[in-house]
Amino acid sequence: MLSKEKLLEKFSNKLKEEMGNMSQEKLATDSGLHVSYIGRLERGDACPSIYAVYKIALALKIKPSELFKF
């Protein structure tokens, strides 16, 4: 079982991978989330809600489950 910190680190790495060259600002605009929140997710400093994961996945044009394939 992963600790919360390790899980957030893995999620952060996967998010950055899926974002590719997309900026935090673009993901924030496309997902309707605040840019500072996207930054916190990228650093592993925030634990996203299911709804936030859903909105991010829509913006990235992937299934939400893809963000947990690590």
pTM: predicted TM-score of the whole model, two decimal places: 0.93
Give the integer Cα–Cα distance in Å for 36 and 30. 14
- What does the pLDDT read at residue 2? 92
Answer for the pair 21, 29: CB distance below 8 angstroms, yes or no.
no
Q: Give tens-digit pLDDT for 13-66.
A: 999 999 999 999 999 999 999 999 999 999 999 999 999 999 999 999 999 999
Q: What is the DSSP code string of the chain? A: ---HHHHHHHHHHHHHHHHTT--HHHHHHHHT--HHHHHHHHHT-----HHHHHHHHHHHTS-GGGGG--
Q: Would you state the pLDDT for residue 42? A: 97
4-68 in CATH: which number?
Answer: 1.10.260.40
What pLDDT was estimated at residue 67?
97
Q: What is the pLDDT of residue 24?
A: 98
* pLDDT on residue 38: 98
CA pair distance 41, 5, nearest whole angstrom: 12
